[in-house]
Amino acid sequence: MINENKEKLERYLGRLWPQWKQEIPHLLRDFEELHLESGEHLPSQRGDIYFIASGIVGKYIKNAPIRYSSNNEVIIVPLKPSTVQFRVLADATVFVLERSVLYQIVEQHPRSIMFYDELLIKQQQAIDFRYDLLQLPKAARLDALRTKYPPLMGLLSRTELAAFLDISKEYLRRLL
C-alpha cells in the first residue's frame, strides 16, 4: 500500500511529466524516503534531487539564507563543490533521487532526460522567487514571503528573516 507522502510524490511527478509511468515505470521506487527532524541537515551529495513532501528546508551559504523550500518543491543539490548547506527548519519528509540512480535511469531510458529538464525548470522557478522578492519595494517583501511560505514566519529569527529579505532588523521590526 502506498503512503500519503508517496502519493504526493506520485501526483507531483504526474504534473511535472505526465509520461513518467510509461517511460520510467520504476521511478517511484527509485526515490528513497527520509524523515528528518528540525535542525538536521539534508544528507546531500552533489547532484542529488530532493522532493519535499512535508516540512520546510532552508538553503544556506556560509550561514546566510539563500532559499526556502516547502511542500511539493524540489531541491537539486548543485554539482559544483560549494559550502551550500540544506537545513531542516520544520520536521520534514523528503524523497531523494541520488545522482547515480538518475544516471542509470537516463542510460536505460534516454527520454527520461525530459523529466530532468522539467525538474530543472522547477528548480529555476524556485531560485527566481528570491530574485523576484528582492526586486519588490522593501515594504512589500515580508508580505510576499508570508504569502508563499506562511509557516516560515514562526521558524526564523528576526536576524535571519531580515538577511533573507535584505532589509535591516530595525526596518523589519517596524514591518512586524
Q: What is the CATH number of the domain that holds 46?
A: 2.60.120.10
- The predicted model scores a pTM of 0.92
Residue 171 confidence (pLDDT) above 80: yes
- How far is it, in rounded angstroms, from Cα 109 to Cα 175? 51
Q: Are 33 and 103 contained in the same domain? A: yes
Q: Are 17 and 95 contained in the same domain? A: yes
Q: Are 18 and 81 contained in the same domain? A: yes
DSSP 99: H
Which long-range contacts link 131-134 to residues 24+ away (Cβ below 8 Å)?
133/165, 134/165, 134/166
Domain annotation covers residue 110? yes
Domain annotation covers residue 166? yes
Q: Are 57 and 117 contained in the same domain? A: yes
Q: Are 8 and 73 contained in the same domain? A: yes
Q: Are 69 and 142 contained in the same domain? A: no
- How far is it, in rounded angstroms, from Cα 176 to Cα 15? 37
- Domain range for 41: 4-123
Domain count, the chain: 2
Q: Are 79 and 115 contained in the same domain? A: yes
Q: Is 107 helix (H, G, I), strand (E, B) or coil?
A: helix
What pLDDT is recorded for position 125? 94
Closest CA to 69 of 20, 129, 121: 129
- How far is it, in rounded angstroms, from Cα 43 to Cα 174? 38
What pLDDT is recorded for position 2? 62
| 49: enclosing H helix or E strand | strand 49-61
Average pLDDT score over the chain: 94
What's the pLDDT tens digit per position in 98-137?
999 999 999 999 999 999 999 999 999 999 999 999 999 9
Q: Are 115 and 167 contained in the same domain? A: no
CB 52 within 8 A of CB 69: yes
Q: Are 111 and 26 contained in the same domain? A: yes
Residue 1 confidence (pLDDT) above 80: no
Residue 84 C-beta-side C-alpha neighbours within 13 Å: 21
Q: Are 114 and 174 contained in the same domain? A: no
Domain annotation covers residue 129? no
Closest CA to 160 of 74, 78, 64: 64
Domain annotation covers residue 164? yes
Distances (CA, A) of 123 to 39, 49, 74, 128, 143: 23, 10, 6, 9, 22
C-alpha cell at 137: 519595494
Angle at 129 between CA 135 and CA 81, to 5 degrees: 110
